[in-house]
Amino acid sequence: MIIDLRSDTVTKPSKGMLEAIMNAKVGDDVYKEDETVNALETEIAKLFGKPKALFFPSGTMANQTAIKLHTNPGDQVICDKYAHIFNYEGGGASFNSGVSCKLIDGYRGMFTAQQVEAALNPPDFYHSPLTRLVEIENTTNKGGGACWDFEEIKKIRQVCDTNNLGFHLDGARLWNALVAKNETPKQYGDVFDTISVCLSKGLGCPIGSVLVGDEAIMEHAIRIRKILGGGMRQVGFLAAAGLYALENNIERLQDDHQKAKDIASVLQAQSYVNTVEPVETNIVIFSLNEGISESDFIESLDKKGVKIIALGAGKVRIVTHLDYTDAMHKQFLKILKAL
Ligand SMILES: *Cc1c(COP(=O)(O)O)cnc(C)c1O
């Protein structure tokens, strides 16, 4: 039995999902003739109360498209130092949109409206890049699956309104935040101009992200997607997986969160563990005691059939997901206690 806890992207389509894929009605989505893609886009737009949604092959492409829609070359994007768009999208913000990122030194990938105000460049000070966009991530990936306080998000919206800035949410794991905090997609739709959500993380699809947004800003989204090579043909097979996941795989995220909390409390009690970051959703980040190397630790787990990854800076990460079964969970906790 291999217990793969490197990411919630390692899941494989379930039997029910495969059936949905096999039975999908498809067409050429570049002509917008794929009825399953159209149904998925309509469904997600409705969930968020937004007029437009567009299906993407990856979360990276959805985020990169959003950045392009909000900015012109030379502009600046405000985000956290842990942001996925800054750390894990291959430098795409500068490559695709010609923008720079102003990094906020936040707490677990989150920051305050006050910090946004301090980070933005006054538009008439032409020596500095023009601040155009504020981007946040919920849940935060490098921040250990932390969930934002919605009140702070609303305050940031006000700063964006006052200063004529766009507001984009990287919601790769927004589903986890919604379940953990008992929030709704609609309330997020109300405060953000654009939101990207992943279907291939906690929801268990093989591929797929969706970008939702207001009419005016989404007008050119399909052109940007085409330029980035994301116009796909009979892609309803993948959209069918997305529709299946929306129906079946959101509420069960609770289980992943509970398992992550169990893992954290077992880790906390082990002599080799230094600190465990607070667990709110499905990500556990911890550090080892001095003198224990992360690579040795990861290797010793690997020998027992458990895969996890190092995050750098002395941190190790575990992510729970829908293919991490109760039996695996029992086995893994036993392994951790015996190490
Ligand atoms: C995974 C992830 C993405 C998108 O990643 P893809 O692998 O391109 O789908 C974006 N933002 C965050 C926070 C993520 O964790």
pLDDT tens sequence across 279-298: 999 999 999 999 999 999 99
Across the range 144-155, mean pLDDT stands at 98
Q: pLDDT band for 111, please (50, 70, 90 cuts).
A: very high
Q: pLDDT band for 87, please (50, 70, 90 cuts).
A: very high
pLDDT tens sequence across 115-139: 999 999 999 999 999 999 999 999 9
pLDDT tens sequence across 293-306: 999 999 999 999 99
pLDDT in the model for residue 99: 98
Q: pLDDT band for 313, please (50, 70, 90 cuts).
A: confident
Q: In what order do the strands lie in the sheet with 76-80?
A: 52-56, 209-213, 194-198, 166-171, 131-137, 76-80, 100-104
Per cent of the chain over pLDDT 70 is 100
pLDDT at 66 over 90: yes
State the closest ligand 1 atom to the C-alpha of 209, by its place in the atom list counted from 1.
9
- Which of 58, 88, 285, 309 to mutate to test ligand 1, by most ligand atoms within 8 A of the CB atom? 88
**CA 77 from centre of chain:** 18
Distance 337 CA to ligand 1 centre (A): 32
pLDDT in the model for residue 303: 97
User: Which range has the worst mean pLDDT, 4-8, 72-76, 258-262, 292-296?
Assistant: 292-296
Distances in whole angstroms, Cα of residue 36 to Cα of each of 64, 239, 241, 296: 24, 6, 10, 47
Distance 265 CA to ligand 1 centre (A): 27
pLDDT in the model for residue 117: 98
DSSP 21-84: HHT-----GGGT--HHHHHHHHHHHHHHT-SEEEEES-HHHHHHHHHHHH--TT-EEEEETT-H
Q: pLDDT band for 102, please (50, 70, 90 cuts).
A: very high
> 315-319 and 309-312 as β-strands: parallel, antiparallel, unpaired?
antiparallel
Q: Establish whether residue 75 lines the binding site of ligand 1, counting it when its CB lies within 6 angstroms of any ligand atom.
A: no
Any idea which residue has 């538009």 for tokens? 123
- Which of 64, 84, 138 to mutate to test ligand 1, by most ligand atoms within 8 A of the CB atom? 84
Distance 60 CA to ligand 1 centre (A): 6
Q: Establish whether residue 224 lines the binding site of ligand 1, counting it when its CB lies within 6 angstroms of any ligand atom.
A: no
Any idea which residue has 């806890």 for tokens? 5
β-pair partners for 56: 209
- Alpha-carbon dihedral of residues 240, 243, 248, 252, nearest 10 degrees? 110
Nearest to 247 by CA among 43, 41, 56: 43
Mean pLDDT of the residues in the chain: 97
Half-sphere exposure for 36 (CA within 13 Å, toward CB): 21
Query: Does 139 sit behind a cis peptide bond, omega within 30 degrees of 0 on the bond before it?
Result: yes
Question: In degrees rounded to 5, what are phi and psi of residue 54?
Answer: -140, 135
Rounded CA-CA distance 112/92 in Å is: 25
Q: Establish whether residue 140 lines the binding site of ligand 1, counting it when its CB lies within 6 angstroms of any ligand atom.
A: no
pLDDT at 314 over 90: no
> 100-104 and 76-80 as β-strands: parallel, antiparallel, unpaired?
parallel
Minimal-distance CA residue to ligand 1 atom 5: 59
Across the range 324-336, mean pLDDT stands at 98
User: Residue 303 class from Cβ within 10 Å (0-12 exposed, 13-18 middle, 19+ buried)?
Assistant: exposed
Nearest to 55 by CA among 242, 309, 252: 242
Record the tokens describing residue 141, joined without a space: 């990936």
Three-state SS sequence of 261-287: HHHHHHHHCCCCEEEECCCCCCEEEEE
Residues 6+ apart with CB under 8 A from 65: 54, 56, 211, 221, 224, 225, 228, 230
pLDDT at 312 over 90: no
Helical spans, DSSP H, in the chain: 15-22, 35-48, 59-70, 84-87, 92-97, 113-119, 150-162, 174-181, 185-191, 215-218, 221-227, 236-248, 253-268, 294-303, 326-338
